[in-house]
């Protein structure tokens, strides 16, 4: 299946939907389709219901945490050198804000094709971490979106039962975040060994 055609078909069917094809530099070369959240549910229904696609099975949903990054860019500027205007090359740095992603792998059990990979991206990693749930479109996404909510902190609006699934209700923070810091509670480890034993000894000291 050609992502370019899928992108064009969604844009024609879901007015105002913004999509971007994301390249993949790995050996698999498996590209994905980034969909802006406000039209994601409508685009998902199109992918599921379109007679040629019939992507009726969501096999996997995974989370990704992208930290803020510093990007260096070379720019050419004009400046005066000994009274003479010259062009010189400067390196300028800018911050690219981080975000969280939910990635859906879709297949068609009816048509026997796939995967088509969808990406949904939050605005940032702090206070704008909402994405629409695609569980109403693919029922198999329910537990996996809960896992991403639990471990990464993405809030899936419209999810039928969004609560922690691996960590306990009182647990704070999200342990799959790249900047997660383990709590200092090693005195509760009943069978400390290896690295945990070392940390427990440091704690007790």
Is residue 125 within 8 A of residue 30, CB to CB? The reply is: no
106: DSSP letter:
E
Is a pLDDT exceeding 60 seen at residue 84?
A: yes
Cα gap 61→108, rounded to integer Å: 16
Give tens-digit pLDDT for 161-178. 999 999 988 888 999 999
pLDDT above 60: residue 99: yes
Q: What are the residue ranges spanned by the domains of the chain?
A: 3-65+100-166, 175-205
Q: How far is 118 from 53, CA to CA, in rounded Å?
A: 14
Contact 177/183 with Cβ under 8 angstroms? no
CATH for the stretch 3-65+100-166 = 3.30.460.80
Q: What is the pLDDT of residue 39?
A: 97
Q: What is the DSSP string of 116-141?
A: EEEEEE-S-SSS--EEE--TTT-TTH
Q: Indicate the length of the chain as a whole number.
A: 205
DSSP bridge pairs for 107: 57
- pLDDT (tens digit, 9 = 90+) per residue, 138-168? 999 999 999 999 999 999 999 999 999 999 8
pTM of the model: 0.82
Percent above pLDDT 70 for the chain: 91
Q: Which pLDDT does position 185 carry in this prediction? A: 62
Average pLDDT over residues 76-89: 80
In percent, how much of the chain has pLDDT > 90?
66
pLDDT digits (tens, 9 = 90+) for 62-80: 999 999 888 888 888 888 7
Q: Average pLDDT, stretch 104-130?
A: 95
Q: What is the mean pLDDT of residues 9-36?
A: 93
Mean of pLDDT values over 113-117: 94
Task: Please tell me the predicted confidence (pLDDT) of residue 81.
Answer: 76
As given in the structure block, the two tokens for residue 103 are 């990635």
Hunting for tokens 């549910």 — which residue is that?
A: 41
Average pLDDT, the chain: 90
């Amino acid at each position: 299946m050609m992502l370019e055609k899928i992108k064009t078909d969604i844009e024609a069917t879901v007015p105002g939907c913004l999509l971007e094809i994301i390249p993949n530099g790995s050996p698999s070369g498996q590209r994905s389709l980034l969909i802006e959240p406000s039209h994601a549910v409508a685009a998902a229904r199109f992918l599921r219901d379109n007679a040629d696609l019939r992507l009726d099975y969501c096999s996997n949903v995974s989370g990704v945490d992208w930290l803020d990054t510093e990007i260096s860019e070379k720019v050419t500027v004009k400046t005066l050198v000994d009274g003479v205007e010259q062009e010189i090359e400067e390196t300028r740095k800018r911050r690219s804000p981080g975000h969280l992603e939910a990635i859906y792998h879709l297949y068609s059990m009816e048509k026997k094709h796939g995967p088509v990979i969808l990406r949904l991206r939050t605005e940032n990693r702090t206070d704008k971490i909402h994405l629409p749930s695609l569980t109403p479109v693919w029922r198999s996404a329910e537990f996996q979106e809960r896992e991403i909510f639990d471990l990464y902190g993405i809030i899936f609006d419209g999810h039928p039962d969004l609560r922690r699934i691996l960590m306990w209700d009182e647990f704070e923070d999200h342990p799959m975040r790249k900047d997660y810091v383990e709590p200092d509670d090693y005195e509760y480890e009943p069978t400390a060994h290896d690295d945990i034993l070392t940390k427990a000894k440091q704690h007790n000291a």
